[in-house]
């Protein structure tokens, strides 16, 4: 079978999409890992090493001494049962279904690309089960798997129009809790310390950490405060999402977050969290992107585009560990995490051929 056997690829994709794998449903993730393992074994001729960490199931195939790491994930953001509202379908050349774009089509392309190679010696494949929730159990595994490799190729979905992802922002996540003092809102509000009002001060301060023109974003997201309408809130919490272009900016925002102080008497702050993924700098991908351009030209696939994106992936970890990394080699389509998630099926054989050629070029030492 050569890369680009589209009917077989669609059968494989249907098999993966019909097995739901919501990150927070560890039973579903374990079942999905079994399906991915069987599919991979069908194409690669050997079953993977299953690695279960804190109940999360990851899969790894290694052939000889790894020189190139192919990285993906099989968990999705879609709660179990989403197939009822978003069923699998292929209509007018577009495949739809939960996780089809992010990133089950990428896994199918990965297996088909490797099946077409004459030798897998030097290849390591890692498919994790918790990427969508920040890779809390797989980070060390990813970094360990990247050790000694000359390249990491990430099968996350492409950017708009099929562009490869040559840089990603770093991610930090925080939870700021405000502790105040409850009191009856009607009888004696002056005896309380309003955690909700204090939280409002902190949200304004946090939102001002990065201006509208800054490449860094600091965004208060989920907010909660109080427990009843006639009580001065004793507790309030805000989650904060931070995206930074480089480590210096990531460290600066961390310093600012830890310097926050309460404004109202009787309240105190409790900050948890911090940097989650380091930035993936464009220098990490530059040589691999040039090689991908050469391979695409040789295969007649047309010119490639590379873009920097704000979203993060496990490629941030491999790049942060010093392994050259190229991301966005997966499906072409759109709508990740949204109801219109879809894959352009005609692009699947082309992306598979590109991946196969790129892996081969790396193993040849190009």
Q: What is the DSSP string of 219-278?
A: EEEEEEE-SSTTB--SEEEEEEEEEESSHHHHHHHHHHHHT----STT-EEEEEEEEEE-
Rounded distance, CA 104 to CA 254, Å?
A: 34
CB of 71 within 8 A of CB of 124? no
144 closest CA partner among 279, 318, 316, 315? 318
How is residue 80 written in tokens? Answer: 């179990």
pLDDT in tens, the chain (366 residues): 446 589 999 999 999 999 999 999 999 999 999 999 999 999 999 999 999 999 999 999 999 999 999 999 999 999 999 999 999 999 999 999 999 999 999 999 999 999 999 999 999 999 999 999 999 999 999 999 999 999 999 999 999 999 999 999 999 999 999 999 999 999 999 999 999 999 999 999 999 999 888 999 999 999 999 999 999 999 999 999 999 999 999 999 999 999 999 999 999 999 999 999 999 999 999 999 999 999 999 999 989 999 999 989 999 999 999 999 999 999 999 999 999 999 999 999 999 999 999 999 999 998
Rounded distance, CA 334 to CA 241, Å?
A: 23
Task: For residue range 183-218, list pLDDT tens digits in order.
Answer: 999 999 999 999 999 999 999 999 999 988 899 999
Task: For residue range 59-111, list pLDDT tens digits in order.
Answer: 999 999 999 999 999 999 999 999 999 999 999 999 999 999 999 999 999 99
E strand or H helix that includes residue 163: none
C-alpha dist (Å) from residue 343 to 93, 122, 123, 157, 289:
8, 30, 26, 9, 23
E strand or H helix that includes residue 111: helix 105-115
Residue 76: what are its φ and ψ, rounded to 5°? -135, 170
C-alpha dist (Å) from residue 305 to 152, 185, 349:
18, 59, 18
Q: What domains does the chain contain, in order, with CATH numbers? A: 6-168+279-363 (3.40.630.10), 170-277 (3.30.70.360)
Q: How far is CA 259 from the centre of its chain?
A: 29
CB of 345 within 8 A of CB of 167? no
pTM: 0.91
CB of 97 within 8 A of CB of 87? yes
């Amino acid at each position: 079978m050569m890369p680009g056997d589209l009917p077989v690829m669609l059968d494989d994709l249907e098999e993966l999409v019909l097995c739901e794998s919501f990150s927070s449903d560890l039973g579903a993730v374990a079942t999905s890992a079994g399906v991915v393992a069987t599919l991979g074994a069908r194409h690669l001729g050997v079953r993977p090493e299953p690695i279960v960490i804190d109940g999360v199931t990851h899969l790894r195939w290694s052939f000889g001494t790894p020189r190139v790491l192919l990285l993906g994930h099989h968990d999705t953001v879609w709660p179990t049962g989403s197939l009822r509202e978003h069923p699998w379908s292929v209509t007018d050349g577009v495949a739809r279904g939960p996780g089809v774009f992010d990133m089950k089509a990428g896994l199918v392309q990965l297996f088909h690309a490797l099946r077409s190679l004459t030798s897998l010696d030097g290849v390591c494949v890692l498919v994790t089960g918790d990427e969508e929730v920040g890779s809390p159990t797989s980070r060390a595994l990813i970094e360990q798997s990247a050790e000694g490799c000359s390249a990491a190729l990430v099968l996350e979905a492409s950017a708009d129009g099929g562009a490869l992802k040559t840089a990603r922002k770093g991610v930090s996540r925080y939870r700021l809790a405000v502790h105040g003092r409850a009191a009856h809102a009607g009888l004696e509000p002056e005896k309380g310390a309003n955690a909700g009002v204090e939280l409002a001060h902190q949200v304004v301060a946090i939102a001002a950490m990065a201006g509208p023109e800054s490449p860094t974003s600091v965004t208060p997201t989920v907010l909660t405060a109080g427990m009843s309408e006639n009580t001065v809130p004793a507790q309030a919490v805000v989650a904060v999402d931070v995206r930074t272009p480089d480590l210096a900016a990531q460290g600066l925002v961390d310093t600012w977050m830890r310097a926050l102080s309460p404004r109202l008497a009787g309240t105190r702050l409790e900050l948890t969290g911090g940097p989650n993924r380091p930035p993936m700098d464009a220098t990490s991908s530059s040589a691999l992107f040039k090689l991908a351009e050469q391979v695409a030209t040789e295969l007649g696939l047309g010119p490639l585009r590379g873009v920097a994106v704000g979203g993060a992936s496990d490629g941030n970890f491999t790049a942060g560990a010093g392994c050259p990394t190229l991301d966005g080699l997966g499906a072409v389509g759109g709508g990740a995490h949204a109801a219109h998630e879809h894959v352009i099926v005609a692009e699947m054989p082309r992306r598979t051929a590109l991946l196969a050629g790129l892996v081969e070029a790396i193993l040849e030492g190009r």
